[in-house]
Structure 1
Amino acid sequence: MKKLLVFGHQNPDTDAITSAIAYAYYLNHNGIEAEAVALGLPSEETAYALKQFKTEAPRVIEAAANETDTVALVDHNEAQQSVSDIKDVEVYAVVDHHRIANFETANPLYYRAEPVGCTNTILYKMFKEKSIAIPADIAGLMLSAIISDTLLFKSPTCTPEDEAAATELAEIAGVSMNEYGLAMLKAGTNLDDKSIAELLTLDAKSFPMGDKNVRIAQVNTVDVQDVLERQVELVSAMEAENAAQGYDVFLLVITNIIDSDSALLAVGSHLDTVASAFGVSLNENVALLPGVVSRKKQVVPPLTEAFSK
């Protein structure tokens, strides 16, 4: 087997990039030559974490089969979220905390999926099970992912396992969990210098729902109105993406990390289905979603059910 490449999903968030780094370390420690790579550049939040723990960002790849025959997936499993030539390589392993959809392999594989708030929580358990010591820099990155994915434990996806893992990882990394966590989250909310295209691709995933193709992007902020002031431009760009990529619906979830609420900007066909999924009315393509912060647990499931009827 050639060197195994480990990567998270396209438009990677902090969990996608740091879980690749952590799992590659784990595999190398177990005698499997592995390299963490990424399917996109790190966000400002992720860059903050990488700088804090003195770690280089993984190199970005656009394809895998030109340099390896075997890969490992972290923080995703769905083909449309993965590397472009995923069908041309063998998937050695998956470590994930999302739904399982349109995923199949020709050969048996290691598959670890748990309903926790972050992939790095699962990896933390894997390190413990093998009695592998976690270096301080890796621990800091894993902590960063848990804080990011759970919004410092305020997301409904957060479990006691996430909190327990974060507590121990913070101790190993030598940081104050709350102080560091707030600073990292705030680093990821600076959207003023982001282009419309960047806002729509910072953290975006595609989901097949029934016979529809739904694109869901999410941005974190401390002021939802700052983002909605650019609504006209956002709608125009989302309409263009729908036409170019064949999305039936494009949704932008704008999450206030302080208030733990979101605003939804919806563009495309079947907006009545989107509205009914959340029990809201869209006013000029916008609806408020009180208490909604998690795409994985609070956005994708009700939409999937609504579009599957």
Structure 2
Amino acid sequence: MSKIFVFGHQNPDTDAIGAAISFAHLQKELGKDVEAVALGAPSEETQFALTTFGLVAPRVITSVKPEADSVMLVDHNEFQQSAADIAEVTILSVVDHHRIANFETANPLYYRAEPVGCTSTIILKLYKEAGIEVPKAIAGIMLSAIISDTLLFKSPTCTEEDVAAAKELATIAAVDLQSYGLDMLKAGTNLSTKSVATLLDLDAKSFPMGDKNVRIAQVNTVDIAEVLERQAEFEATMASENAKNGYDLFLLVITNILDSDSELLVVGEPKANVEAAFQVTLTDNRAFLPGVVSRKKQVVPPLTESF
């Protein structure tokens, strides 16, 4: 089993899939036998980007060992967000922009982590460092990843490096950055046709905080009120997920991509830690979070500190 799998986190977003595709292409150019795979199907937003640039979604896997014994991780490092058997295979490299937690390896590896808004911003640097040209389609999916992760530069995670990288990639991809970016983000906000269970699993990650297991899902929309019309169904499903998977708390962050605000829905205990983290009082299990759009920078850190 000489092939190396390259993949992002479970419930992949546009960066998880885009970074896997672009990093795998780079590794192939460098002579490695790699395949970009995914730990879940692409969202509508990601599929919009893939279709726009004529790319095929990576095939979905849940475990590695049946086919490969070595992997390269992008856009994540925490084991609970990775493949089911990640602890049983060799991790050759990680390219990421998240916190480092619940991660260890038996052997040395290449690890590239930078405090930028998107993994694909880092991967663009790796192409330049290797002297490898970025093809048009690959530039397009990398651009899409940056737009997604930074909410078209509105997220506090966005840096000048992300903006510069996006402008460079937009030129290579031959698209207008602003108009394409808005079209792509809107493609991901069609929530009415999706079940509550699907919405809660679209972009969800688990985080150990203190002695608690916290699940945080996020959905993007242009109408928060429309999403909350199904609040009772969301709460029932979140409670069921808590019982089934051992989550102490399930948080749903509903983000308006136009106004750059979010509504928080919380099921489980201790809710007091959530209230302390955001300095809010939950009413009907909800709280409004003005200016909050980033799970990584504005949700996880205050919750971690609170716990």
Q: Give the TM bin, normalised by the shorter chain.
A: over 0.9
Over residues 194-242 of structure 1, what are the superposed CA-to-partner deviations in whole Å (9 max), with x where a residue is unaligned?
1011110000000001111000000000000111110000000000000
How many Å apart are 1:264 and its aligned residue?
0.2
Q: 1:90-141 CA deviation, whole Å, 9 max, x = no partner? A: 0000000000001000000000000000000000011111111000000000
The C-alpha deviation readout for 1:54-89, integer Å capped at 9, x for no partner, is 000000001101101100100000000000000111
Report the secondary structure of 2:111's partner residue. Answer: strand
Root mean square deviation of aligned Cα:
0.5
What SS does structure 2 have at the residue aligned with 1:287? strand
What fraction of aligned residue pairs are identical, expressed as a percent? 68
Distance in 2 separating the partners of 1:124 and 1:202? 26
Corresponding residue of 2:95: 95
Residue 113 (structure 1) aligns with: 113
The alpha-carbon deviation at position 171 of structure 1 amounts to 0.1
What CA distance in whole angstroms lies between the structure 1 residues aligned with 2:2 and 2:214? 36
Q: Which structure 1 segments of 5+ residues have no match? A: none
Partner of residue 20, structure 1: 20
- TM-score of the pair, normalised by structure 2: 0.99
Instruction: After TM superposition, give the deviation of residue 245 of structure 1 in Å.
Output: 0.4
Residue of structure 1 in register with 2:178 after alignment? 178
Q: State the partner residue of 2:45.
A: 45
SS at match of 1:146: helix
CA distance in 1, matches of 2:280, 2:62: 39
SS at match of 2:216: strand
Residue 64 of structure 2 is matched in structure 1 by: 64
Superposed, 1:108-147 pairs within 5 Å as 108-147=108-147
Find the counterpart in structure 1 of residue 228 from structure 2: 228
Q: Which amino acid aligns with 1:235?
A: E
Name structure 2 gaps, 5 residues minimum: none
Q: What's the secondary structure of 2:120's corresponding residue?
A: helix
Provide the TM-score with structure 1 as the length reference.
0.99
Q: How far is the alpha carbon of 1:295 from its aligned partner?
A: 0.1
Q: How does 1:1-309 map to 2 (within 5 A)?
A: 2-307=2-307
Q: Distance in 2 between matches of 1:20 and 1:151?
A: 20
SS for the counterpart of 2:205 is: strand
SS at match of 2:180: helix
Please identify runs of 4+ aligned residues in structure 1 that moved more than 4 A.
none
Code of the residue aligned with 2:213 in structure 1: it is N
Which letter does structure 2 place at the counterpart of 1:101? A
